[in-house]
Structure 1
């Protein structure tokens, strides 16, 4: 793992992918749910950013419900490339992918030309946890001197350090690289705490164990929205084929809207459309329930009355988080030289393609 800032989203979710026994580079069911001829449809490639999960669910729903086909698109959902979804989109290997504004900023600083065109998640869902059986850890300050199960991200280091310091600690901790999974690294005694997602690993821990004691970023001094998860494409596609971007974005948006309004049905669609992921229906339904109850994709009442549009980019929350990372010297260029100036969210995302 490079020393440079990498995707916390991918790192956190990657831990659970191994725990459940499905591979982050595994195959997905890309067959169109309709039997009709697709020869007259525009072929488009969407790349996963890790194993299939509820962050990707709107794309699977859009495919299953025929929203892509209605837009004239034949969408192929493919496994994440070894170089990462962002690099694949930047190089034109994939037309679209799931990512987040934090990653778009990081890759842009290293020379990429990508942009987020739809943001699903509107507030942080990252949780930083110790095993509940470790009674010595009651709050973030107790993480001082402990061992962090990490994927090597400067971003994660900065977040953990800020949380500890906000809670009255020094922000000093040891690190060990995650092995098979963060859960297993902690249970083996090699690490005391690690990072997860409340909407995925947090659900797993609640349903199947191990029980966790967790802390959230906004409660301990980390500003903005670290988890601006959404859909990205490259600048060339936006310039040369804006109609394609609009069609894909709005069909995907419709998929997420359906999933938010019909979480159980959407959960079953994900299970059926990604059979090689071996997802348990009750687990995916619980994950969607947590997303809806926690209003992670926005306030349903505001979406219903039209005062908020699902898919809108959170420029303010993203910029606050970017500025924090710059203050913590978490940004580096392609030569691993620290960059002190934060990327600008307004240059990294656009709302012009979402349906209003």
Structure 2
């Protein structure tokens, strides 16, 4: 009996040791796999930079939404925002100092004629922001009614000055038929409100802002006479050739940001943009939300062209018309085919 008991104890000890070792190995393997799995699945994000025209404003909401909602991250991108003047943006993009730029289209067209190697990869704003704005009491219906009026622009070198000339030409008028006033950006709106001028050719965003302040104004949009584009996404010729996947990933995230706002989330996008990036606009959320819904959603980000070809699609015919007119008015010193400027995915 003693021998049998000893043998049984020894057998139980061996069994217990075996079970412990087996269980321990299993647990270690399980723990090891749980530790390694996130590392294997983790996607390393590529840092890229975009330089944006001017300063941080909530009108750049699609970019901010794409960052904060993780749309860039979905494309493997960690995007950093910087700001500069449009002409500097184009040069920095061409030199590879930043991967992307978001300047106004006129600066890109000028750069192209100077041999600066950039491409428009996304025609974000399908139209321009220019408009002739005036008090409704003026009774102005068409540019022909500008005759004899005091019409203000911010400078004789501004895109708005060219837009004014094209409007007048379409009406059979010239600059000699009006009184041109040059008033700085900070004072031009007040000049209209206080009746120092009759018309200002400026940004159509001011139309809604003035109406919200109780000033009864109307507008004639410049794009009805001079087809143009506002801000567009650009990249260097080199980047479009060497890394088209990066271009497409950025565009996909940007489009998702635009679509999020188009789908009825303008208020949330404005609040997010002001809280995270443009704090100086606090208190103006309602006005900016209205501007996004009334100008950006139906007019700037979308068009008949985008309905057919998707957000950011380029209308080559419209681009070519812009090039022709800007050359006619000596803004650019030569013409070229828009196909040379617009990037098309292979």
TM range (shorter): 0.7 to 0.9
Q: Given the two structures, how large is their TM-score scaled by the length of structure 2?
A: 0.75
Aligned to 2:171: 167
**By how many angstroms is 1:302 displaced?**
7.3
Asked whether the 8 Å contact 1:159–1:217 carries over to 2, the reply is yes
Identify which of 323, 338, 341 aligns with 1:345: 338
Aligned to 1:252: 254
Per residue, is there more helix in 1 or in 2? Answer: 2
The structure 2 residue matched to 1:51, chosen from 42, 52, 55, is 55
Q: Does 1:270 align with 2:264?
A: no
3-state SS of paired residue (2:186): coil
SS at match of 1:294: helix
Residues 89 and 144 of structure 1: CA distance in aligned 2, closer, same or farther (over 3 Å): farther
2:228 aligned residue (214, 226, 229): 226
Q: Which runs of 5+ in 2 are unaligned?
A: 1-41
Q: Show the counterpart of 1:194.
A: 200
Give yes or no for contact 2:306–2:313 (8 Å, CA) kept in 1: no
Matched, 1:310 2:311: yes
In the alignment, which of 75, 85, 89 is matched to residue 89 of structure 2?
85
5+ unaligned residues in a row in structure 1: which ranges?
1-37, 332-338
8 Å contact 1:48–1:97 — kept in the other structure? yes
Question: 1:187 Cα shift?
Answer: 4.5
1:108 corresponds to 2:112: yes
Q: In 1, Cα distance between the equivalents of 2:116 and 2:186?
A: 30
Aligned residues: 300
Task: Note the C-alpha offset of 1:160.
Answer: 0.7
Is contact 1:155-1:325 (8 Å) kept? Answer: no
CA drift at 1:208: 2.1
CA distance in 1: counterparts of 2:140 and 2:326, whole angstroms: 26
Distance 1:122 1:136, change over 3 A: closer
Which SS does the other structure have where 1:342 is aligned? Answer: coil
The Cα shift of 1:163 comes to: 1.0
**Deviation, structure 1 residue 207:** 1.1
Q: Distance in 2 between matches of 1:301 and 1:142?
A: 31
More deviation in 149-158 or 181-190? Answer: 181-190
- Verify the 8 A CA contact 2:163 2:222 in the aligned structure 1: yes
Partner of 2:320: 319
**2: CA distance, partners of 1:319 / 1:301:** 15
Structure 1 residues 231 and 302: CA distance shift in structure 2, 3 A: closer
> Any residues of structure 2 matched to 1:17-36 within 5 Å, and which?
none
Mapped partners of 2:303, 2:245: distance in 1: 29
Match of 1:204 in 2: 209
1:215-261 per-position Cα deviation (integer Å, ceiling 9, x unaligned): 12354xx24x3125321111122233322222222211221122221
Q: State which of 269, 275, 283 in structure 1 corresponds to 2:287.
A: 283
Give the alignment's Cα RMSD to 1 decimal.
Answer: 3.0
Q: Give the equivalent residue in structure 2 for 1:215.
A: 220
Decide whether aligned partners of structure 1 residues 136 and 177 sit closer, same or farther in structure 2, where only a CA change above 3 A counts.
same
The answer to whether structure 1 residue 69 and structure 2 residue 73 are counterparts is yes
The answer to whether the 8 Å contact 1:119/1:312 transfers is yes
